[in-house]
């Protein structure tokens, strides 16, 4: 984020001219920076003829580390009102300690935040549901994993809904289906209580199969 | 003109379900799908596309091969890691990964050989369509693209133009999940924000954050709790929090597999589907109309 030193600034307007994000306005007596538009590219400070602009840190969120039993949990929390989450995702990923396995929970959709999260992964599990929405978004997500060259498999949630046949789609596109979880009120209730479905004995084999696929793809 | 945006923070809480219902019972609203990176409303409302346009949301850097001397001065100035030198030091080649380029143009400005040009990049498309319930404006961002906020702004602008031309009084906006740039863009200029949540810890946590964000826009906020009966206790806590924050309780929707089945077949849950969930949504609709009447 740029900070203008008023004693050096001659109000020449070069910084405004080089800012592609329209984040700088030059007023009669001062230069104004709109921080929500700034991408932090550094063009204004690097190209200022008077060397009047320095870059200062801008707090946009926090990275939190926690421990629970044998697990370490790392997460980022964007400050409410901040628009850009990708720098924070990069920061969270950079903070991941050396360890045997990292499991990442990714944002929905296929925009820059999802891409930043999936980038560099050894394997990607795409969770979907047998609805037109689930299938539609699955196709978009597959385009992303293909572009990023990350091996993908599909996990079907709410299996049993009378929507499109996910298995058939995956078979036709040679994508492994590594598990199915039925539509079941008891699962929704357990999730709502904060219980782990994986600890439900009924689904032991389902989640083991998912784990085995991920570990073998990751070459562990 | 009233612009109603449906948001959630968390994905999959039932935004599109509720919007589909409202569009069907109001039957004279312009609809806008602002979830531009994973749009779903078209699957439900089955629009016929009347107009399609490319969206060149940004310019990206491109190297003119013949002019580039591979000096490498552009590599360290790029804050987005989009420029890399490939090969060994004696035979270095500079390459730009356009997917990472944010379009700041700094590289093209400092290039001593003027070998970097900024070129338009298509990041998506937007559409004006007809559905049985009225005009719909939607878009599709190319997978992995940035600039969804700008595309959302375009969708909303076109929806407002359509509503004005047709003399339609209400725009229903399907918002994206999260609290990032596209959500900020969706909330801007609205007359009412409806937050759809569910009684899970993650639903609650995300609802709090979207409520904080929406409060900054100085507009009335309505809360809808979907699948409320799965955890009555948590539903009550969410509602208490919302009221304390100044939000209006529009109602709750029960867990309902009839509704889930209807949606799974890509059908709108309108007046014609008799189920506990549609009954609940008709009450939500009435409360919503009261609220925008006052606004």
**Distance set, CA B62 to CA A41, A63, A134, B86, B176 (Å):** 17, 34, 36, 16, 31
Residue in chain A lying closest to B200 (CA): A192
B79 near A43, Cβ under 8 Å?
Answer: no
CA distance A114 to chain B (A): 7
Collect all residues of chain B within an 8 Å Cβ-Cβ radius of residue A128: none
- Domain final residue, candidates B67, B96, B121: B121
Tally of domains in chain B: 2
Indicate whether B273 pLDDT > 80: no
Distances (CA, A) of A91 to A64, A75, A107, B81, B242: 11, 10, 15, 14, 32
- From residue A129, give the alpha-carbon distance in Å to each of A144, A154, B167: 18, 10, 38
- Mean pLDDT of all residues in B228-236: 97
- Nearest Cα of chain B lies from the Cα of A189 at a distance, in angstroms, of 5
**A114 interfacial to chain B (CB closer than 8 Å):** yes
Q: Which domain holds residue B100?
A: 59-121
| Partner-chain contact B106 A42, CB within 8 Å | yes
Nearest Cα residue in chain A from B235: A192
Query: Does A194 reach chain B within 8 Å, measured CB to CB?
Result: yes
Query: Which residue in B43, B212, B264 is closest to A162 by CB distance?
Result: B264
* Domain A2-55 = CATH 3.30.70.20: yes
Q: Does B261 sit within 8 Å of A161, measured CB to CB?
A: yes
Nearest to B14 by CA among B221, B199, B290: B199
- pLDDT of B295 > 60? The answer is no
Lowest mean pLDDT among A29-38, B143-152, B261-270: B143-152
| Average of per-residue pLDDT across B149-156 | 94
Residue A193 has its nearest CB partner, among B35, B148, B231, at B231
User: B107 with B244, same domain?
Assistant: no
Share of chain A above pLDDT 90, in %: 83
Nearest CB to B265; choose among A107, A162, A192: A162
The answer to whether residue A74 scores a pLDDT higher than 80 is yes
Structure tokens at B65: 């091969």
Residues of B in contact with A191 (CB under 8 A): 200
Interface of A with B in 141-180 (CB under 8 A): 141, 143-144, 147, 158, 161-163
Please give, rounded to a whole number of angstroms, the shortest distance from the CA of B167 to a CA of chain A: 31
Fold of A107-220: Rossmann fold (3.40.50)
CB contacts of A133 in chain B (<8 Å) are: 16, 40, 43-44, 263
Nearest-CB residue to B144 (from A144, A158, A161):
A144
Per-residue pLDDT reduced to its tens digit, B41-86: 999 999 999 999 999 988 999 999 889 999 999 999 999 889 998 8
The distance of B45 to chain A (nearest Cα, Å) reads: 12
Point out the domain boundary residue: B97, B121, B145. Answer: B121
- Looking at chain A, which residue has its C-alpha nearest residue B151? A111
**Size of chain A, expressed as the number of residues it contains:** 220
Separation of alpha carbons A84 and B143, rounded Å: 17
Q: How far is B112 from chain A (nearest CA, A)?
A: 14
- How much is the pLDDT for B100? 84
Residues B184 and B46 in one domain: yes
Q: Which residue has the higher pLDDT, B30 or B275?
A: B30
Residue-wise pLDDT tens digits, B163-172? 999 999 999 9
> Which residues in chain A have their CB less than 8 angstroms from residue B12's CB?
108
pLDDT at B294: 61
Nearest CA in chain A to B80: A41
Q: Which residues pair with B140 in a beta bridge?
A: B125
More confident residue, B159 or A39: B159
pLDDT (mean) for A59-85: 91
The mean of the pLDDT values for chain B is 93
Determine which of B11, B18, B38, B269 to mutate to test the interface with A (most A C-beta atoms within 10 Å): B38
Contact A46 B106 (CB under 8 A): yes
pTM of the model as a whole? 0.88
Average pLDDT over residues B204-225: 96
Do B112 and B254 fall into the same domain? no
> How far is it, in rounded angstroms, from Cα A62 to Cα A65?
10
Once rounded to an integer, what is the mean pLDDT over residues B16-45? 95
Domain ranges of chain A: 2-55, 59-98, 107-220
Domain match, B31 and B86 both: no
pLDDT of residue A220: 66
Nearest to B104 by CA among B147, B61, B66: B61
Q: What single-letter DSSP state applies at residue B142?
A: P
B90-112 average pLDDT score: 91
A183 to chain B, any CB pair closer than 8 A? The answer is yes
Of A78, A111, A158, the CB nearest to B37: A111
Size of interface A-B (CB pairs under 8 A): 147
pLDDT value, residue B87: 80
Closest to B37 (Cβ–Cβ): which among A47, A110, A185?
A: A110
* Span A138-188, pLDDT tens digits: 999 999 999 999 999 999 999 999 999 999 999 999 999 999 999 999 999
Q: CA B73, CA B3: separation in Å to the nearest integer? A: 49
For residue B51, the cross-strand partners are B128
Helix (H, G, I), strand (E, B) or coil at B21: helix
Q: What percent of chain B has pLDDT over 70?
A: 99
Q: Supply the pLDDT for residue B221.
A: 97
Q: Are residues B34 and B110 in the same domain?
A: no
pLDDT of residue B281: 97
What are the phi and psi torsion angles at B6 (to 5°)?
-110, 120
Regarding whether B209 and B277 lie in a shared domain, the answer is yes
**Whole-number average pLDDT of chain A:** 94
CATH number of the domain where residue B98 is located: 3.30.70.20
Q: Which of A83, A147, A189 lies at the smallest CB-CB distance from B230?
A: A189
Tell me the CATH number at B216.
3.40.50.300
């Amino acid at each position: 984020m740029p900070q203008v030193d008023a004693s050096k600034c001659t109000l020449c307007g070069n910084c405004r001219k080089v800012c592609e994000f329209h984040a700088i306005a030059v007023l009669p007596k001062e230069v104004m920076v709109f921080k929500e538009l700034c991408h932090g590219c550094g063009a204004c400070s690097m190209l200022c003829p008077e060397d009047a602009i320095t870059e200062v840190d801008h707090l946009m969120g926090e990275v939190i580390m926690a421990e629970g039993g044998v697990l370490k949990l790392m997460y980022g929390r964007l400050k409410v009102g901040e628009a850009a989450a990708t720098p924070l995702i990069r920061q969270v990923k950079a903070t991941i300690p050396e360890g045997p396995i990292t499991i990442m929970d990714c944002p929905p959709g296929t925009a820059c935040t999802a891409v930043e999260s999936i980038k560099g992964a050894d394997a990607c599990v795409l969770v979907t549901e047998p609805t037109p929405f689930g299938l539609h978004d699955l196709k978009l997500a597959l385009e992303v994993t293909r572009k990023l060259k990350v091996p993908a498999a599909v996990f079907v949630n709410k299996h049993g809904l009378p929507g499109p046949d996910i298995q058939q789609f995956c078979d036709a596109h040679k994508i492994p289906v590594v598990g199915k979880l039925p539509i079941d009120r008891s699962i929704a209730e357990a999730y709502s209580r904060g219980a782990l479905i994986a600890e439900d004995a009924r689904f032991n084999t389902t989640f083991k199969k998912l784990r085995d696929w991920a570990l073998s793809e990751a070459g562990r | 003109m009233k612009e109603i945006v449906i948001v959630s923070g968390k994905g999959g809480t039932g935004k599109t379900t509720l919007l589909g219902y409202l569009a069907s019972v109001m039957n004279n609203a312009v609809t806008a799908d602002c979830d531009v990176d994973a749009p779903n409303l078209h699957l439900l409302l089955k629009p016929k596309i009347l107009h399609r346009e490319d969206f060149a949301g940004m310019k990206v850097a491109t190297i003119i091969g013949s002019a580039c001397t591979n000096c490498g001065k552009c590599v360290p100035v790029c804050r987005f890691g989009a420029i890399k030198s490939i090969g060994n030091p004696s035979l270095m080649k500079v390459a730009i990964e356009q997917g990472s380029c944010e379009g700041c143009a700094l590289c093209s400005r400092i290039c001593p050989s003027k070998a970097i040009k900024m070129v338009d990049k298509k990041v998506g498309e937007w559409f004006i369509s007809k559905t049985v319930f009225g005009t719909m404006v939607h878009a599709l961002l190319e997978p992995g693209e940035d600039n969804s906020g700008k595309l959302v702004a375009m969708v909303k602008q076109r929806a407002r133009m359509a509503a004005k031309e047709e003399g339609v009084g209400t725009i229903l906006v399907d918002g994206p999940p999260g609290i990032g740039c596209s959500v900020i863009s969706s909330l801007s200029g609205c007359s009412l924000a409806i937050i759809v949540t569910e009684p899970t810890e993650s639903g609650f946590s995300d609802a709090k954050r979207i409520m904080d964000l929406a409060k900054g826009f100085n507009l009335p906020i309505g809360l809808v709790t979907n699948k409320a009966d799965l955890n009555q206790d948590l539903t009550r806590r969410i509602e208490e929090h919302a009221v304390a924050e100044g939000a209006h309780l529009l109602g709750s929707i029960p867990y309902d597999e009839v509704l889930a089945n209807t949606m799974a077949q890509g059908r709108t849950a309108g007046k014609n589907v008799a189920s506990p969930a549609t009954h609940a949504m008709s009450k939500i609709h009435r409360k919503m109309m009261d609220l925008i009447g006052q606004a």
